[in-house]
Structure 1
Amino acid sequence: MARKKEISKSKILDVAYRMAVKDGIESLTARSIAKAGHFSTQPLYLEFKSMSELRNQVLKRISHELRTDTLQKKYTGKPLIDLDLSYIYFAEKYVNLFKAMFVDGKFGSKIISDTLMELGIEKFKAQYPNTDYSDERIRGIVIANWITTAGMAALVVNKIARFSQEQIINVLNAQIHDAMLNDWLAKSRVKESPLFANEDLPY
């Protein structure tokens, strides 16, 4: 009879996920995970081909949590504004994870940026269901919105500025309105933001 594994893959991922949320993705080393989980490093190398594979699976779990819970909070009843507020409050609560994923950009930039873009487009369409904008125009509006939201989150996280919820909402409403009136990110004006660059586009 084969010996039953004492440390399962799911247990390792649970430990790694909790560490990433608390201390950021950079905290995930074989030794630190083993120490936090009170087991040796051997199970990690049995269950995962590499630490990169483990980190990617943790990032996918974080992405799932962002998509289904963390960025789905209700504050104003306006889907896109609520998404932005959820993001800013997430950054304030989980500073290390926010910096690792959204500021330093060392881990999971594609996984996370895809999640943010898909949510942003979904929430824009929910908040403005009667617009006849093209998919490209909506994408530009959402990118502009994320530029503003990420900037405010960075200011809050780095304690450069503090904003009341009313101030945040006022800034976001103004930015979204401006982006809907002025297509600042049109191809003829400026290349797409690197954070959300689509490698398949011919420019």
Structure 2
Amino acid sequence: MARKKTILKSHILDTAYDVVKTEGFEGFTARNIAKTMNCSTQPIYLEFKNMDDLKNELYIKIQEYLTETIFKQTHSEDPILNTCLNFIHFAKDEPIFFRALFLEDHLGPERMQNLPYEAMLDAFEQEEKTKGLSKAEQRKLFEKIWITVYGTAALLAQDLIKLDETLLNDNLTRTIKEASK
């Protein structure tokens, strides 16, 4: 009788996700993931072709988390401001994870930048003043706003500034207003 699998692909993926979330990609090694699971590296390589294969599956899990959890939060009535605040609060609340995803180049900067861009496009479609913009106009508006958002998030994630919620809301509202002119 064959032995029943006790370590499933989903367990490995969940563990890899938790490792990156708490340790960053420095901990993303087969040996470290196996150690965290109290097993050898064999189950990892039975379920995934290689670590890049695991990393690609991890990206999908991260994409789902950001899309369904982080960018769905509500901080204000303005969907554009919400998207900005969600990204910044993610950097503040989960700095290790944020740095691993957005400040280090482990999953591809274009691929990672596309996640907040898509969230912002959804927000643009919810706002009357930005709903009718062309793709080029949306991209330009995103870039104008995102410089402030990304910079603020990066500074927070590195603990270089402290978050003053009122000042943050005022700055972002002003940035969005100026960029939308």
Could you state the TM-score of these two structures normalised by the residue count of structure 2? 0.92
Partner of residue 93, structure 2: 93
Aligned ranges 1:44-59 → 2 under 5 Å: 44-59=44-59
CA contact (8 A) 1:59 1:108 kept: no
- After TM superposition, where is structure 1 displaced by more than 6 Å over at least 4 residues in a row? none
Partner of residue 137, structure 1: 137
Deviations 1:144-203 (CA, angstroms, capped at 9, x unpaired): 22221110111222232223222111111111122122xxxxxxxxxxxxxxxxxxxxxx
CA distance in 2, matches of 1:59, 1:131: 29
2:180 match: secondary structure? helix
Partner of residue 84, structure 1: 84
Deviations 1:112-156 (CA, angstroms, capped at 9, x unpaired): 222211111111221335653212101111122222111011122
Aligned ranges 1:58-77 → 2 under 5 Å: 58-77=58-77
CA distance in 2, matches of 1:106, 1:179: 31
- Cα 1:93–1:38 change in 2 (3 A) is same
1:117 match: secondary structure? helix
Partner of residue 162, structure 2: 162
CA distance in 2, matches of 1:26, 1:117: 26
Which is helix-richer, 1 or 2?
2
1:42 aligns with 2:42: yes
CA distance in 1, matches of 2:39, 2:129: 52
Percent of aligned positions with the same letter in both sequences?
A: 32
Once superposed, what is the RMSD of the aligned Cα atoms? 1.7
CA contact (8 A) 1:20 1:28 kept: yes
Cα deviation for residue 56 of structure 1 reads 1.6
Aligned ranges 1:112-123 → 2 under 5 Å: 112-123=112-123
Unaligned runs of at least 5 residues, structure 1: 182-203
CA distance in 1, matches of 2:12, 2:175: 42
1:147 aligns with 2:147: yes
Could you state the TM-score of these two structures normalised by the residue count of structure 1? 0.82
Cα deviation for residue 78 of structure 1 reads 1.0
Count, aligned residues? 181
